[in-house]
Amino acid sequence: MTRTHQILAFVSALALAGCGGSNAVASTPSPAPEQAEAGSTGASPSAEVLAIDYRQRPPSDEVIYFVLPDRFENGDTSNDLGGFTGGPLQHGFDPTHKGFFHGGDLAGLTARLPYLKRMGITAIWFAPIFQNKPVQGGEGEESAGYHGYWVTDFTRPDAHFGTADEFRAFVDAAHGMGMKVYMDIITNHTADVIGYEEGPETGYKYRSRGDYPYVTRGDVGGARINEGFEGDQVSTDENFARLTAPDFAYTPVVKDAERDIKVPAWLNDPIYYHNRGDTTFDGESNTFGDFVGLDDLFTEHPRVREGMIDIYRFWVTDYGVDGFRIDTFRHVDPGFWQAFLPAITQTANAEGKPNFTMFAEVARNEPNAGYFAQFTRRDGVPAVLDFAFQSAMQDVLGKAKGTDTLMELFAGDVLYEGGEEAAMNMPTFLGNHDMGRFSTLVRQDRPGISQDELLSRVMLGHAMMFTLRGAPTVYYGDEQGFVGDAHDQLAREDMFPSRTAVYNDNNLIGTDATTAVSNFDEAHPLYRLVASLSEMRAEHPALRRGRQVTREFRTKPGLFAVSRFDPDTGTEYYIAFNTSDAPIVENAVIGSNARSLETLAGTCPGSVTVPGSVRIELPAFGWAVCRVSETAK
């Protein structure tokens, strides 16, 4: 019997027998699809308690599911072309091409909500839903806006995904199941609509990456200088005076057919863009440059700030969304955030959403808090998407670095605004649509790794993400064992039967299926693991918002242990992991008043024979979650 089959059998046994075992936690059997459609959510009583009023849950309580609607489920084939005519280069639909629309939509996402509910998901974060430019890119390099980041109309869903009414129905259905809805939002740029007269070719052309080198504000050279704003565009704010004559490096031009394509209408005026050429992701270009050829908004301008606040207030007040993941946060000037964030928080509070969530994407491969914390302090964003956690997890489980990497990660929590308590609200994740899936990253770090070992490492990664501080975020398809070929488009497979050859030859883990078939298998070991971990978090507040103390770490792969404490009773929960490929038996530090423990997952020692020390036995890539059941008198 292979290790994959052993894990499948082991998880199934746990579902019948309750807690115990080394690499999984207990899970109840999933109801059949026909039962779910009849109204059964499959949720446990504790999960139902958490869902009584989703608005009252703090961000740390959530289990987040990040999904690209286009790649999840096609519930309505009539909108596949998005209302456009012509061929794929006009409407953007080509399910055989990894870079075009595949047909997933709001109807499909709504229909699959019971699947997410049974997995324990409490918040759905989806890629931008706004109307996009269907196709852009140079000739022969075209791709489609299936991902949602090439916005033309910020006020409605993309027609490939459905209507405003369908979006409202999706939000209402999610709320009806106690799930929050997080929108992925963009304030840094729009689709590529503005072209430049200057460039590598004679005459007007749209931008392609690298065509227009960035020109600094102090070195315009022979390029055209804008004469400044006129009429009501002139700011009276003295602090803004230096910006009222932007030194555009290139001459913006828009095709007649696209002069009014953007909504709201003010977005069509090139004066509200930097027009300085392509960012190099360095220095001032990080803020003022065009992000891979997209129209970079002049976010220092009061009109832009006011307009963006109005756009996103609308989605809170009219649709009742519960949070924003903010794209390309570090490419926007801090002054914008100091206006935007308080305004949105004020609106959310007025709408009865005291726990409205905003977290920033600050993409960087850095396994410590130092770099990321500045955005919570200077810019005032409540949380950042925890790239430091992701990087540390890849170091530990992919690159075989010591577990002291995790100690250093969590020691840095004090640097965030609000310190360790605020860090508990940060969404943690293992992989995503840009960098690639965690399974892919581990496989790249460990060439030749077996499917069994890859599954074990991925399962351990999820166990750590669900029991350590932060709000765990599952990337869609990970619960079905997806393993992509690389990052970006190669990490965006279809959950419904795929027609994309580069996806269908992937070797998935924990299953014999491929992406050529529908992948909503609730018996998959990773789905059942996530469901059981979600249930355990729901039952034990210590795992959602309990203070975390690092107990043990090593300078090589092996033991990492923490204690978390119930926020109401102070009860200690002892959690230990083995990141190595060999079993470990070690003495480890525990709270000095602990005397006996009960097992919630894995295998825990029953008693503490020496005060302050506990004997930990873990298999390769194993874990244990224990609760102190008796303390010193």
Say whether 148 sits in a helix, a strand or coil. Answer: coil
Let me know if 366 is a catalytic residue: no
- One DSSP character per residue, 404-437 reads HHHHHHHHGGGGSTTHHHHHTTSEEES-BTTTB-
Cα–Cα dist 509/43, whole Å = 26
Angle at 431 between CA 388 and CA 404, to 5 degrees: 40
Say whether 81 sits in a helix, a strand or coil. Answer: coil
Cα–Cα dist 321/348, whole Å = 9
Q: Return all residues near 178 (Cβ < 8 A) that are at least 6 apart.
A: 47, 48, 50, 51, 52, 54, 122
Q: At what angle do helices 438-445 and 387-397 cross, to 10 degrees?
A: 40
Say whether 28 sits in a helix, a strand or coil. Answer: coil
Contact at 8 Å (CB) between 484 and 436? yes
Say whether 117 sits in a helix, a strand or coil. Answer: helix
Of 184, 327, 522, 552, the active-site residue reads: 327
Let me know if 404 is a catalytic residue: no
Residue 214 main-chain phi, psi, to 5 deg: -65, 135
Cα–Cα dist 367/388, whole Å = 4
CB hemisphere CA count around 70 (13 angstroms): 34
Say whether 243 sits in a helix, a strand or coil. Answer: helix
Catalogue the long-range contacts made by 413-419 (C-beta closer than 8 Å, 24 or more residues apart): 413/369, 413/469, 415/369, 415/370, 415/373, 416/369, 416/372, 416/373, 416/376, 416/377, 417/373, 417/376, 417/377, 417/380, 418/376, 418/382
Residue 67 main-chain phi, psi, to 5 deg: -135, 145
Contact at 8 Å (CB) between 626 and 584? no
Cα–Cα dist 22/32, whole Å = 27
Angle at 390 between CA 384 and CA 393, to 5 degrees: 145
Of 247, 284, 361, 366, the active-site residue reads: 361
Contact at 8 Å (CB) between 157 and 107? no
At 168, the amino acid letter reads R
Residue 252 main-chain phi, psi, to 5 deg: -70, 140
Cα–Cα dist 427/75, whole Å = 29
Cα–Cα dist 377/341, whole Å = 13
Kindly provide the residue ranges of all beta strands, DSSP E only, lying in 445-505, ordered along the sequence.
471-475
Contact at 8 Å (CB) between 573 and 563? yes
Cis peptide before 264 (omega within 30 of 0): yes
- Please identify every residue annotated as catalytic: 327, 361
